[in-house]
Structure 1
Amino acid sequence: MSGSDVTRGGTEGARPGREALTGAMAGRRRRRRGRGERPMVPEAEFSSYYGRPILKKPTWQPLDIAGYLYLGGLAGASSPLAAGGHVTGRPGLARAAKLGASGAILVSLAALVHDLGRPTRFLNMLRVLKPTSPMNLGSWLLAGYAPLTVAAAAADVTGRHRSVGAAATAGAAALGPLVATYTAVLLSDTASPSWHEGHRELPFVFAGSAATAAAGLALVCAPVRETGPARRSAVLGAALELGAFRVMKRRMGTAAEPYERGKPHRLMRAAEVLTAGGAALAVHAGRRGHTSGRARLLAAGAGTALLAGSAALRWGVFHAGVASAEDPRYTVVPQRERLEARADRR
């Protein structure tokens, strides 16, 4: 008697290759025999060799890099606001935005250099021009943008070389939107799932966050009668930030979970409340009938909330990306989902 003549039940005359049930059919027979049985295969646990993460988490310092993200966005969105104030005859708004842009970008650069460890590492990135590298293009962008903001602010404060100051203001306004959003491209270009999976919407989230931060600074520092453009920027920026972030989370699937847990969730929730509340307060501050003191207080409160909300969003995005790199689940599951989606399309 050969092995092929013996079935699983020990009888002869049957060939297991033709009559034995395997796969899904075998599972159905087992379920018919005993519905209350527990599965023999345990639920999958996502781990890696020796318990180490699949991805190496970012080694960036939160204070340096999250601060760099936040201040860069604040500077980039302040420059168009400064140009608008310059053109429309709002000198107080223009000066506040110019000083805010120059101060924020200089501190942002200092934070970046501090995280890099040595200034020469930043300068080394300027030795070549590599269009395929967001970090390299961002370095060139900062190297061109920062001097323009400083020149625009210096000309405004000193009252000298006004034509140079006007040209610098226009140049900074042209580069400002790129400065405000290129960091989103930089994060999305990494392997951290909660950054990479949001590559379509994250630049819009950062653009809205930058607009609310710049509006908040103007509301705090500029004369109330000149803050009309800042109030409109606060409303539009808040709508863009909150709307794009909700779309991003819905589209990301499993990779959006870090935004809903722990410290990132608390920061993102605070960002939503502060940004929405600050925008509503900014609208209220612009209504007629307020005394000058009350209007000043409302504008300052709205600006403070918007600045804090933008900062909370940047820190929340940063920590969510780090958390997603530490957990193998957020690397493995999205890959499987993409493979299944491709198989379904075939």
Structure 2
Amino acid sequence: MLNQPAWQPLNIAGYFFLGGLGGAGSVLAAGAGLTGRPVMARALKTSSAVAVVGSAAALIHDLGRPGRFVNMLRVFKPTSPMSVGSWLLAAYGPASGVAALCELSGRMPRLGRAATAGGALLGPAVAAYTAVLAADTAVPGWHDAYRELPFVFVGSAATAASGMALAMSPTAENGPARSAALAGTALENAAVKAMERRLGLVAEVYRDGTGGRWMRAAETLSAAGAAGAALLAGRSRLAAGVSGLALLAASACTRLGIFHGGLESSKDPKYTVVPQRERLRRREQDGGGADQAGRRGQDGAGDG
């Protein structure tokens, strides 16, 4: 019933994952710089710059040629998630790049601080807008999850950024990363559970098949990574590194699970037809109840 999305799994899931890693990483990098954690700040600024380049490259590769991305910058359309996202990447990419270059070279510290602040301000939007982009399609697994999907993506982004910080920072500096790991995994898993409860029938695509396998892997890895971050990462550099890698893998699995689940929901007509019929039935029932209430009110007025 639906035209199948032409998006390629590695391109778009990579675009989702790397954008989230970069956006959330810029926020953590700014906090690390302000609290005197230079190694963490340097690592996160560098990883965010690399991640946004990779995210843009994955998007351009899926579009087919660079000119298509450039064409999206010819106009700014606030009602189009793709247009807003293209401009976000165009603004965030240079900010994260300048912040990383200034940090690594040690030159132009004022420019570096301004770029770091700009990246931190734009980072949350970069981490979240891809969820809006997916939900703006007709794919049931994405569109019907429009309320929870941004929270899933933001939680997953925080999980990835905290994982990168744990993997690249000394134990003396990784306190905020451990806290972010717990907060990110809690938000991501709570949002996924809420999404599945509200989706009803459509939630099958996130429990079964390819999407379900990726989502279960994400849940297991995030639980292991968060436990390691909370219990061991503050004392052991090795444990911090292993926990960080588990959290990075968990975030990547979440993006692949969401992507493949959405594709599966577009292939089976029942995920489009059954929810539509249920919505129509509820509207008819609500409308019938309102009509009956109106008639009762008119009868009461006549009796009076």
What is the TM-score with the length of structure 2 in the denominator?
0.93
Tell me the secondary structure at the aligned position of residue 79 of structure 2. Answer: coil
Correspondent of 2:43 among 96, 104, 108: 96
Deviations 1:184-222 (A, max 9, x none): 000000000000010000000000000000000011111
Alignment of 1:169-318 (within 5 A): 169-287=116-234, 290=235, 295-318=236-259
2:52 — aligned with what?
A: 105
- Of the three residues 273, 276, 283, the one matched with 1:335 is 276
Residue 277 of structure 1: CA displacement?
A: 1.1
1:345 aligns with 2:292: no
Q: Does 1:145 align with 2:108?
A: no
Q: Distance in 2 between matches of 1:203 and 1:152?
A: 26
Residues matched between the structures, number: 287
Distance in 2 (alpha carbons) for counterparts of 1:216 and 1:241: 14
Q: Is the 8 A contact 2:233 2:243 kept in 1?
A: no
Cα distance in 2 for residues equivalent to 1:65 and 1:247:
24
Corresponding letter in the other structure for 1:113: I
Q: Which runs of 5+ in 1 are unaligned?
A: 1-53
Picking from 76, 80, 91, the partner of 1:129 is 76
Q: In 2, Cα distance between the equivalents of 1:130 and 1:148? A: 22
Name the amino acid aligned to 1:274.
L
1:276 is displaced (CA, Å) by: 1.3
Structure 2 Cα separation of the partners of residues 344 and 233 of structure 1: 45
Q: CA deviation at 1:286?
A: 4.2
Task: Provide the C-alpha distance between the structure 2 equivalents of 1:114 and 1:225, rounded to a whole number of angstroms.
Answer: 40
Counterpart residue number, 1:57: 4
CA drift at 1:285: 2.1
Amino acid at match of 1:236: A
Aligned to 2:292: none
Distance in 2 of aligned mates of 1:127 and 1:241 = 35
Higher helix share: 2
In the alignment, is residue 118 of structure 1 matched against residue 65 of structure 2?
A: yes
2-side partners of 1:63 and 1:188: how far apart? 19
User: Could you tell me which amino acid in structure 2 is paired with residue 235 of structure 1?
Assistant: L
Q: Which amino acid aligns with 1:170?
A: A
% same residue: 58
For residues 286 and 139 of structure 1, the distance between their equivalents in structure 2, rounded to whole angstroms, comes to 37
- What are the ranges of 5 or more consecutive residues in structure 2 without an aligned counterpart? 288-304
CA RMSD of aligned residues (A): 0.7
Amino acid at match of 2:102: A
2:267 to 282, 302, 326: 326
- Which AA in structure 2 matches 1:194? G
Query: Given residue 108 of structure 1, which amino acid in structure 2 is its aligned partner?
Result: S
The amino acid across from 1:101 in the alignment is S
**Residues 83-136 of structure 1, C-alpha deviation per residue, up to 9 Å, x if partnerless?**
001100100010011001000000110111111111000000000011110000
TM normalised by structure 1 equals 0.82
Give the greater-gyration-radius structure (CA): 1
CA distance in structure 1 between the aligned counterparts of 2:176 and 2:191, rounded to whole angstroms = 22
